[in-house]
Structure 1
């Protein structure tokens, strides 16, 4: 009887209301990782550290996110998913409060890692939605939830930029903790129980991810491309706040945050990118978006010291990165029903490790080589993405 109940719950319908709730939850949770990007200059001043050192906060947050995906996401193939999601929300709230009350950079670094580790809720919700969606609508559903997630990424910078200027940079973390407690209550009564379909042990689950990497060439390709794409994205956003506060612009944290509004154009394109992936093939869409990202960095290196140039570059960058991520996830979610969360874990660990490296290289390059150095990082990452995407182009089972 218990098995029948589990199967029934696992097959519950995915309606528009549930997709909306998942999208909002993804937006509010992923925002935890990105609040600090427009605030890095203020954080450096607050803790009396260098620009490069303050960049470690963003780096550790993304490393924490990667570790959370690696260690927690495989559990979703083994244990009940709703309780796991609620536990992560509670943990995120605790670490957000710890950062709010932190008195030195060491505590802030520890809290940043914990925030990233526990803010993996979107990566638990996306495979759940893919599991519940009809196969012919999977790309569209993933794109819809990704839109919420990506709007959360971009608006987080807008909100934190303004809050940082007018209320102090720490205030946003108190607000974020409140959002996590609110989501905990809402999802407790919105999500149904969703039991795992796999009987694999946790230790075996972690080991099996190595097997999945060897088994699926598409997973290897998507992981490398995703990491390089997100490296370019994170390098830009980590360096942007320092560029805007330099003598070229003399702008504050609110201006850095406002650039997130330009990037929303890319986020709004995600459902359409999902539809294109369903019709034209996700691999085709990935290739187009790498070209778009390269175009963004061409604009940055030529017109980066003009405000209109930055705005156009941001639109192209976010459009390319977000659409590429949707298409990559559409590809990998077709690989294995039973191992979907582990497949997602491999991809997203690579994705956010690339982002962590990008955050560090963005601040380091700007500090030592200026804006041109940041653009060089962007170009080199995309050359790597092109190589991974075109390597053994004629190999089988591409989609």
Structure 2
């Protein structure tokens, strides 16, 4: 069970006596309040707010994807440099995961979440005022760095949730995050047609400023779960990845899965704006509505994780991810059949990616409840490094072989994820803890 993995990482500073202790804002901690809160779970209104916050926090990292040609033409930069906008966003996000997310175990989480949300609003305005490639990349990188507020909120929700509903709660917040990623493209395309590509960044900045206020008012304060100093905290995060086999394996699966996802969405604008399709920015953005069905997989996967089925969901998901590249490859010729194949491929790919991701997160969270932010940092850093590599790979592959080569690269990454998620040929499936309820109750 989960205890078999817990001896691997020793955190002498961890306050293990109250790993999920939460305090209401504006007052001292009432006796027994934290335990009652954990059993009662998280209210629907607060869960909705946290889902919206997670979605809007990450949306700014994806606005550029359907607008790459438009941004490049407006700023006078080439397609190779413009494609780096996506890569820079992922790299910035990855650095935030390494340097900022572990702080959720060290500092009061409400202040951290609100501060990062407000900073996201500020840096979105930098991108909105960019007059060249350098400022565009700087604003994008800084926005990605602080938008890890979304991951603070996910771990926040997991801590507030009742143990037997942790998978469902994480799935719900992640549904909001997924919708933010996918609908960002739709909103970007529509707003770009209305007021230019900068409009979506201004709108998102205003919404993030409003969210910072609402989160400060509505979120309960949470005690830190460790008193380690910051350098030791980062070393502890690295130790979790090194010593916990479940975290390593799930991180590798996540990296390959999100790499495959990034290959598709980084190259999509180039395909659809080309001669085969000739779509406008808004039409390209609307394709995100097809992918939004992936948010359904987040909720379903969370509920299945509460029943101990997360490893099975991840195996099925990686298989579907690989199969999705068949219709996507067929979509390269354009025309009516091309559009139909594209829609099928996008739908299956997004459902698969989100199903695997939520399953991975629930398995990782079950390892060490008192180190949840550090576990999330280790996993999500690997996840977004995979995404950044996928985006960067797309630039080179597209230039070398166009859409067919791009599909081959995406399928290769999916095949790697499937190999890691499948049961081992000798000795059966490696041990993984039961997610959510069982392991957390023992924590």
Instruction: Say which of 356, 375, 378 aligns to 1:346.
Output: 378
Query: Which of 56, 74, 96 does residue 46 from structure 1 map onto?
Result: 74
What is the TM-score of this pair, normalised by structure 2? 0.86
1:177 pairs with 2:177:
no
What is residue 365 of structure 1 aligned with on the other side? Answer: 397
Q: Do structure 1's residue 139 and structure 2's residue 167 form an aligned pair?
A: yes
Match of 1:34 in 2: 62
Question: How far did residue 89 of structure 1 move?
Answer: 1.2
**Mapped contact 1:283–1:398 kept (Cα < 8 A):** no
2:127 maps to what in 1?
A: 99
Whether the aligned pair in 1 keeps the contact of 2:297 and 2:352 (CA below 8 Å) is: no
Please give the secondary structure, in 1, of the residue aligned with 2:277: coil
Q: For residues 112-148 of structure 1, what are the alpha-carbon distances to aligned partners after superposition, in whole Å with 9 as ceiling and x for unaligned?
A: 1000001111100111111111222111111111111
Q: How does 1:232-311 map to 2 (within 5 A)?
A: 232-305=260-333, 306-311=338-343
Q: Secondary structure at the match of 2:179?
A: helix
Matched residues in 2 for 1:389 and 1:202: separation?
A: 34
Q: 1:295 to 1:36 in 2, by over 3 A?
A: same
Q: Is the 8 A contact 1:9 1:193 kept in 2?
A: no
Match of 1:224 in 2: 252
Q: Describe the shift of the 1:298–1:280 C-alpha distance in structure 2 as closer, same or farther (beyond 3 A).
A: farther
Partner Cα distance (1:142, 1:104) in 2: 39
Which 5+ residue runs of structure 1 have no aligned equivalent?
none
Whole-Å separation in 1 of the counterparts to 2:80 and 2:330 = 25
Q: Are the equivalent residues in 2 in contact too, given 1:33–1:116 (CA < 8 A)?
A: yes
SS of alignment partner, residue 292 of structure 2: helix
- 1:5 and 2:29 matched: yes
Assess if the C-alpha contact under 8 Å between 2:42 and 2:161 holds in 1. Answer: yes
Report how far residue 9 of structure 1 moved.
Answer: 6.6
The 2-side partners of 1:221 and 1:375 are apart by 25
Q: 1:204 to 1:284 in 2, by over 3 A?
A: same
Q: Distance in 2 between matches of 1:10 and 1:199?
A: 19
Task: Give the drift of 1:390.
Answer: 3.6
Instruction: Give CA-to-partner distance per residue, 1:26-81, whole Å, 9 cap, x none.
Output: 11111111111101111111222221210111111111011011101111101100
CA distance in 1: counterparts of 2:393 and 2:33, whole angstroms:
45
Are 1:206 and 2:234 counterparts?
A: yes
Measured in 2, the distance between the counterparts of 1:193 and 1:142 equals 19
Q: CA RMSD in A?
A: 1.8
Pick one of 173, 194, 197 that aligns with 1:166.
Answer: 194
Following superposition, the deviation at residue 382 of structure 1 comes to 1.3
Structure 1 residue corresponding to 2:414, chosen from 353, 358, 382: 382
On the 8 A contact 1:222/1:347 being kept in 2, the answer is yes
Name the SS for the 2:60 alignment partner: helix
Match of 1:77 in 2: 105
Question: 1:336 corresponds to which residue?
Answer: 368
CA contact (8 A) 2:258 2:387 kept: yes
CA–CA distance in 2 between the matches of 1:66 and 1:119?
10
Contact 1:6/1:195 (<8 A) preserved = no
Distance in 2 (CA, whole Å) between partners of 1:239 and 1:53 is 14
Give CA deviations for 1:210-235 in whole Å, capped at 9, x if unaligned: 21112211100110110111111111
Question: Per-residue CA shift, 1:294-334, capped at 9, x if unaligned?
Answer: 11101111344300110011100110011111111011010
Q: TM-score, normalised by structure 1?
A: 0.96
Partner of 2:243: 215
Aligned CA distance change for structure 1 residues 368 and 48 (closer, same or farther; 3 Å): farther
TM-aligned CA deviation for residue 197 of structure 1: 1.8
Conserved? CA contact 1:40–1:54, under 8 Å:
yes
Q: Higher helix share goes to which structure?
A: 1
C-alpha contact (below 8 Å) 2:256/2:386 kept by paired residues: yes
Offset at 1:364?
2.8
Give the corresponding residue for 2:48.
Answer: 20
Deviation digits for residues 227-257 of structure 1 (CA, Å, limit 9, x no counterpart): 1111111110110011001110011111111
Aligned 8 A contact 2:363 2:432 in 1 = no
